Amino acid sequence: MIWSQVGFSSQQTRRTYVAIAMAVEKKSPDKDLSKDNLADETPLKSKTDSDQSLPKSKGKWAALVENLRLIAIALLIAAVVRIFIAEPRYIPSPSMVPTLAVGDRLLVDKISYRLHPPKSGDIVVFEPPPQLQDYGYTTRQAFIKRVIGLPGQTVQVSQGTVRVDNKPLQEPYILESPQYEMPAVQIPPGSLFVMGDNRNDSNDSHVWGFLPIDNIIGKATFRFWPWPRVSLLKPQEAESTSVKLK
Protein backbone atom coordinates (compact mmCIF):
# COMPACT_ATOMS: atom_id res chain seq x y z
CA MET A 1 0.00 0.00 0.00
CA ILE A 2 0.94 3.65 -0.28
CA TRP A 3 2.56 4.03 3.11
CA SER A 4 4.65 0.80 2.69
CA GLN A 5 5.76 1.94 -0.80
CA VAL A 6 7.30 5.17 0.52
CA GLY A 7 9.13 3.26 3.22
CA PHE A 8 7.11 3.86 6.41
CA SER A 9 8.23 1.30 8.92
CA SER A 10 5.72 1.67 11.64
CA GLN A 11 2.11 2.71 12.36
CA GLN A 12 3.31 5.58 14.58
CA THR A 13 5.39 7.10 11.80
CA ARG A 14 2.42 6.97 9.42
CA ARG A 15 0.21 8.78 11.91
CA THR A 16 2.86 11.49 12.27
CA TYR A 17 2.96 12.23 8.53
CA VAL A 18 -0.78 12.16 8.21
CA ALA A 19 -1.02 14.81 10.92
CA ILE A 20 1.56 16.97 9.08
CA ALA A 21 -0.31 16.61 5.77
CA MET A 22 -3.60 17.61 7.36
CA ALA A 23 -2.00 20.65 8.97
CA VAL A 24 -0.66 21.81 5.59
CA GLU A 25 -4.03 21.21 3.94
CA LYS A 26 -5.77 23.47 6.47
CA LYS A 27 -3.46 26.36 5.55
CA SER A 28 -3.88 25.90 1.82
CA PRO A 29 -4.79 29.16 -0.06
CA ASP A 30 -7.28 27.23 -2.19
CA LYS A 31 -9.80 27.02 0.67
CA ASP A 32 -11.81 30.23 0.12
CA LEU A 33 -14.48 29.42 2.71
CA SER A 34 -12.10 29.00 5.68
CA LYS A 35 -12.73 30.96 8.88
CA ASP A 36 -9.54 32.95 8.33
CA ASN A 37 -10.77 34.26 4.98
CA LEU A 38 -14.15 35.32 6.41
CA ALA A 39 -12.47 37.13 9.26
CA ASP A 40 -10.66 39.35 6.75
CA GLU A 41 -14.04 41.07 5.94
CA THR A 42 -14.17 42.81 9.33
CA PRO A 43 -11.79 45.69 8.53
CA LEU A 44 -13.47 46.09 5.12
CA LYS A 45 -16.85 46.72 6.81
CA SER A 46 -15.29 49.24 9.14
CA LYS A 47 -13.78 51.12 6.19
CA THR A 48 -17.07 51.10 4.32
CA ASP A 49 -18.94 52.56 7.33
CA SER A 50 -16.37 55.34 7.62
CA ASP A 51 -16.71 56.19 3.94
CA GLN A 52 -20.50 56.36 4.25
CA SER A 53 -20.41 58.74 7.23
CA LEU A 54 -18.66 61.45 5.19
CA PRO A 55 -21.40 61.77 2.53
CA LYS A 56 -24.03 61.84 5.29
CA SER A 57 -22.23 64.74 6.96
CA LYS A 58 -21.92 66.57 3.65
CA GLY A 59 -25.62 65.96 3.01
CA LYS A 60 -26.58 67.69 6.27
CA TRP A 61 -24.50 70.76 5.40
CA ALA A 62 -25.97 70.87 1.90
CA ALA A 63 -29.51 70.76 3.31
CA LEU A 64 -28.69 73.55 5.78
CA VAL A 65 -27.20 75.74 3.05
CA GLU A 66 -30.25 75.13 0.84
CA ASN A 67 -32.63 76.06 3.68
CA LEU A 68 -30.70 79.28 4.35
CA ARG A 69 -30.82 80.10 0.67
CA LEU A 70 -34.60 79.62 0.57
CA ILE A 71 -35.03 81.83 3.65
CA ALA A 72 -32.90 84.56 2.06
CA ILE A 73 -34.95 84.42 -1.15
CA ALA A 74 -38.20 84.57 0.82
CA LEU A 75 -36.98 87.62 2.77
CA LEU A 76 -35.90 89.32 -0.44
CA ILE A 77 -39.28 88.69 -2.05
CA ALA A 78 -41.05 89.99 1.07
CA ALA A 79 -38.94 93.16 1.02
CA VAL A 80 -39.65 93.77 -2.67
CA VAL A 81 -43.37 93.19 -2.13
CA ARG A 82 -43.46 95.54 0.86
CA ILE A 83 -41.55 98.33 -0.87
CA PHE A 84 -43.19 98.24 -4.30
CA ILE A 85 -46.43 96.21 -4.21
CA ALA A 86 -48.22 96.02 -0.86
CA GLU A 87 -47.66 96.24 2.86
CA PRO A 88 -49.58 95.42 6.05
CA ARG A 89 -50.80 98.17 8.36
CA TYR A 90 -52.23 98.23 11.86
CA ILE A 91 -55.12 100.52 12.93
CA PRO A 92 -54.08 102.25 16.20
CA SER A 93 -56.95 104.73 16.66
CA PRO A 94 -60.77 104.88 16.36
CA SER A 95 -60.79 107.62 13.69
CA MET A 96 -62.19 105.23 11.03
CA VAL A 97 -64.86 103.57 13.20
CA PRO A 98 -67.19 101.91 12.29
CA THR A 99 -65.51 100.94 9.00
CA LEU A 100 -62.22 100.04 10.67
CA ALA A 101 -61.74 99.23 14.33
CA VAL A 102 -58.70 99.58 16.56
CA GLY A 103 -56.54 96.51 16.08
CA ASP A 104 -57.65 95.78 12.52
CA ARG A 105 -54.84 94.83 10.18
CA LEU A 106 -55.02 95.85 6.56
CA LEU A 107 -53.23 95.20 3.31
CA VAL A 108 -52.29 98.43 1.57
CA ASP A 109 -52.10 98.34 -2.22
CA LYS A 110 -49.15 100.41 -3.47
CA ILE A 111 -49.60 99.83 -7.20
CA SER A 112 -53.09 101.16 -8.00
CA TYR A 113 -52.16 104.83 -7.76
CA ARG A 114 -49.29 104.29 -10.17
CA LEU A 115 -51.96 103.42 -12.74
CA HIS A 116 -54.69 105.94 -11.87
CA PRO A 117 -55.24 108.83 -9.44
CA PRO A 118 -57.14 108.43 -6.14
CA LYS A 119 -60.93 108.40 -6.36
CA SER A 120 -63.52 109.89 -4.09
CA GLY A 121 -64.40 107.29 -1.45
CA ASP A 122 -61.01 105.54 -1.44
CA ILE A 123 -59.51 104.72 1.94
CA VAL A 124 -55.92 105.87 1.78
CA VAL A 125 -52.85 105.46 3.96
CA PHE A 126 -50.46 108.40 3.88
CA GLU A 127 -47.48 110.05 5.48
CA PRO A 128 -48.28 113.15 7.58
CA PRO A 129 -48.34 116.30 5.46
CA PRO A 130 -45.91 119.15 6.27
CA GLN A 131 -48.41 120.94 8.53
CA LEU A 132 -48.62 117.85 10.77
CA GLN A 133 -44.86 117.31 10.73
CA ASP A 134 -44.55 120.84 12.08
CA TYR A 135 -46.46 119.58 15.13
CA GLY A 136 -44.01 116.75 15.73
CA TYR A 137 -45.42 113.89 13.65
CA THR A 138 -42.81 111.88 11.73
CA THR A 139 -43.04 110.18 8.35
CA ARG A 140 -43.13 106.83 10.19
CA GLN A 141 -46.50 107.72 11.74
CA ALA A 142 -48.83 106.93 8.85
CA PHE A 143 -52.46 108.09 8.84
CA ILE A 144 -55.53 106.45 7.32
CA LYS A 145 -58.58 108.43 6.11
CA ARG A 146 -61.23 108.43 3.41
CA VAL A 147 -60.96 110.63 0.32
CA ILE A 148 -63.85 113.13 0.34
CA GLY A 149 -62.78 115.79 -2.16
CA LEU A 150 -60.61 115.81 -5.29
CA PRO A 151 -58.50 118.61 -6.79
CA GLY A 152 -60.63 121.55 -7.88
CA GLN A 153 -63.68 120.57 -5.83
CA THR A 154 -65.18 122.60 -2.98
CA VAL A 155 -65.84 120.96 0.40
CA GLN A 156 -68.01 122.34 3.18
CA VAL A 157 -69.42 121.02 6.46
CA SER A 158 -72.73 122.60 7.42
CA GLN A 159 -75.55 121.52 9.73
CA GLY A 160 -74.21 118.02 10.20
CA THR A 161 -73.70 117.38 6.49
CA VAL A 162 -70.62 117.27 4.29
CA ARG A 163 -71.13 118.98 0.96
CA VAL A 164 -68.97 118.62 -2.14
CA ASP A 165 -69.53 121.29 -4.77
CA ASN A 166 -72.57 122.28 -2.69
CA LYS A 167 -74.10 118.78 -3.03
CA PRO A 168 -74.76 116.84 0.22
CA LEU A 169 -73.02 113.50 0.47
CA GLN A 170 -74.83 110.27 1.27
CA GLU A 171 -72.58 108.65 3.86
CA PRO A 172 -73.96 105.41 5.33
CA TYR A 173 -70.48 104.42 6.55
CA ILE A 174 -69.94 107.20 9.14
CA LEU A 175 -70.42 106.71 12.88
CA GLU A 176 -72.39 109.93 13.34
CA SER A 177 -72.92 113.29 11.66
CA PRO A 178 -70.21 115.91 12.20
CA GLN A 179 -70.95 118.22 15.09
CA TYR A 180 -68.92 121.12 13.78
CA GLU A 181 -69.07 123.69 11.00
CA MET A 182 -66.47 124.28 8.32
CA PRO A 183 -66.71 126.98 5.67
CA ALA A 184 -66.35 126.03 2.01
CA VAL A 185 -62.77 125.50 0.85
CA GLN A 186 -61.49 124.70 -2.63
CA ILE A 187 -58.98 121.90 -2.98
CA PRO A 188 -55.81 122.99 -4.79
CA PRO A 189 -54.20 120.98 -7.61
CA GLY A 190 -52.20 117.95 -6.48
CA SER A 191 -54.09 117.70 -3.17
CA LEU A 192 -57.04 115.86 -1.61
CA PHE A 193 -59.51 116.50 1.21
CA VAL A 194 -59.63 113.48 3.54
CA MET A 195 -61.77 112.72 6.60
CA GLY A 196 -62.18 109.91 9.12
CA ASP A 197 -65.46 107.95 9.21
CA ASN A 198 -65.62 108.75 12.92
CA ARG A 199 -66.20 112.39 12.07
CA ASN A 200 -66.17 113.73 15.62
CA ASP A 201 -63.00 111.91 16.67
CA SER A 202 -60.69 112.26 13.69
CA ASN A 203 -57.60 114.37 13.11
CA ASP A 204 -58.20 115.02 9.41
CA SER A 205 -58.42 117.70 6.72
CA HIS A 206 -61.05 119.70 8.58
CA VAL A 207 -58.34 120.24 11.23
CA TRP A 208 -55.05 120.51 9.35
CA GLY A 209 -55.99 121.16 5.72
CA PHE A 210 -55.25 119.46 2.42
CA LEU A 211 -53.32 116.27 1.80
CA PRO A 212 -50.66 116.33 -0.95
CA ILE A 213 -51.24 113.36 -3.26
CA ASP A 214 -47.50 112.68 -3.18
CA ASN A 215 -47.81 111.79 0.52
CA ILE A 216 -50.06 108.82 -0.19
CA ILE A 217 -48.49 105.43 0.56
CA GLY A 218 -51.31 103.37 -0.91
CA LYS A 219 -54.92 102.31 -0.89
CA ALA A 220 -56.40 100.11 1.85
CA THR A 221 -57.98 97.18 0.03
CA PHE A 222 -58.17 94.16 2.35
CA ARG A 223 -58.67 93.53 6.09
CA PHE A 224 -56.88 90.30 7.03
CA TRP A 225 -57.26 90.46 10.84
CA PRO A 226 -59.09 89.79 13.11
CA TRP A 227 -60.36 86.59 11.58
CA PRO A 228 -64.12 87.22 12.07
CA ARG A 229 -63.80 90.55 10.24
CA VAL A 230 -61.63 89.39 7.33
CA SER A 231 -63.00 91.07 4.20
CA LEU A 232 -62.30 93.10 1.12
CA LEU A 233 -62.95 96.81 1.40
CA LYS A 234 -65.59 96.58 -1.30
CA PRO A 235 -66.35 99.49 -3.62
CA GLN A 236 -69.83 99.94 -2.16
CA GLU A 237 -68.30 100.13 1.32
CA ALA A 238 -65.76 102.73 0.25
CA GLU A 239 -68.04 104.67 -2.11
CA SER A 240 -68.67 107.93 -0.34
CA THR A 241 -70.08 110.25 -2.94
CA SER A 242 -71.80 110.39 -6.28
CA VAL A 243 -70.03 113.60 -7.21
CA LYS A 244 -68.11 113.17 -10.45
CA LEU A 245 -64.87 114.87 -11.32
CA LYS A 246 -65.43 117.52 -13.96
Whether a cis peptide bond, with omega within 30° of 0, leads into 29 is no
Burial of 204 (0-12, 13-18, 19+ CB in 10 A): buried
Question: Which of the following is catalytic: 120, 145, 191, 205?
Answer: 145
CB-based contacts of 216, cutoff 8 Å, min separation 6: 113, 118, 124, 125, 126, 192
DSSP 213: G
Q: How far apart are CA 232 and CA 228, in angstroms?
A: 13
Q: Is 145 a catalytic residue?
A: yes
Q: Is 95 a catalytic residue?
A: yes
Cβ atoms of 169 and 162 within 8 Å: the answer is: yes
DSSP 22: H
Question: Which of the following is catalytic: 95, 191, 202, 240?
Answer: 95
Residues recognised as catalytic: 95, 145
